Amino acid sequence: MLKIQEINEIIKSIDRSSISEFTFQINGTTIAMKKNSDTADIEQQYQTAAHEQTSVKEGQEESVPGVSVKTEKVENIADSDYEILSPIVGTLYTSPSPDSDAYVSEGSEVKKDTVVCIIEAMKLFNEVEAEVTGEITEILAEDGGMVEYGQPLFRVKVK
């Protein structure tokens, strides 16, 4: 039988993923979850708008249909064209093992399929790829630290 904390972790992971339906069965108990697709569409529109934005002035309001965001912090990413975001909640690792070198460092050249880190979530290790060709200009997350869904991990100067 699953503990409440484990069920809450599953709910959070599913909520922050692109999965729209999830069914889990263990020892005769079934847990089924289904997300409202309208919420996922709004969230995807917000992420697209966030990627297109290069700098935000303090107090400026940005809006996407159904979502309104007011920024409180000035952020300048002039040296970068793209941010690699965390696809899930979990623990970030910058190398394949504690004894290995990091996948990338500031100044590293990356291609679309270059693995930049791994994120562990519920005992599963998920590779995160660069998704663009360019140069890593900044590492935004700490090795071994917790990351949230949508959290910027790396900044990349696209080439």
- Residue 138's nearest CA partner among 153, 122, 149 is 153
pTM surpassing 0.85?
no
Q: What is the CATH T-level fold of the domain 79-159, as seen in this structure?
A: OB fold (Dihydrolipoamide Acetyltransferase, E2P) (2.40.50)
d(C-alpha 70, C-alpha 56), whole Å: 10
What tens-digit pLDDT sequence spans the chain (159 residues)? 567 777 777 777 877 888 777 777 766 667 777 776 554 444 454 444 444 444 444 444 444 444 444 433 334 445 568 999 999 999 999 999 989 999 999 999 999 999 999 999 998 999 999 999 999 999 999 999 999 999 999 999 998
Distance in Å from the first CA to the final CA of the chain: 51
Dihedral Cα 41, 43, 48, 49, nearest 10 deg: 120
Residue 113 burial (CB count, 10 A): 10
> Where are the chain's structural domains?
4-34, 79-159
Task: Tell me the three state secondary structure of residue 14.
Answer: helix
**pLDDT at position 37, please?**
55
H-assigned helices in 2-157 = 4-15, 37-52
